[in-house]
Amino acid sequence: MHSIAALALALAAVAVPAARERARPRDAAEKAADRADKMVCKRFTKTGSLVDRVRVCKTKNEWQRDRDNLRNSAASGTCGQPTLNGC
């Protein structure tokens, strides 16, 4: 009986950090008060893997530039023009 309770507590202790990890946004914006040249490292799960992760380090400016590029490419079509009826 005690071993079941101990097992339940051990599983709960492992589940809490995993839940916190999932709750955190993967590509959260950096703090506005940070210096533009401050190095920021983020961890991403590798595509096709459930556990393998990769660490990417860039300056705050580089992360912002990447976000801006993604927004601009999503707003334009594959032809580089705004999407209305395709190319």
- Give the separation between CA 12 and CA 4, rounded to whole angstroms: 12
Range of the domain at 53: 2-75
Is pTM beyond 0.75 here?
no
Taking the C-alpha atoms of residue 87 and residue 78, their distance in angstroms, rounded to an integer, is 7
Confidence at residue 54, expressed as pLDDT on a 0 to 100 scale:
94
Is the backbone of residue 16 left (phi > 0), alpha (psi -120 to 50) or beta?
Answer: alpha
Are the C-beta atoms of 66 and 44 separated by less than 8 Å? no
Tell whether the model's pLDDT for residue 31 goes beyond 80: no
Report the pLDDT value the prediction gives residue 34, as an integer from 0 to 100. Answer: 75
Residue 44 lies in a domain: yes
How many independent structural domains does the chain possess? 1
Structural domain includes residue 52: yes
Residue 86 within a domain: no
Residue 82 belongs to some domain of the structure: no
Spell out the residues 6+ positions from residue 67 whose beta carbon is closer than 8 angstroms to its own: 27, 29
Q: Give pLDDT tens digits for 53-80.
A: 999 999 999 999 999 999 998 877 656 5
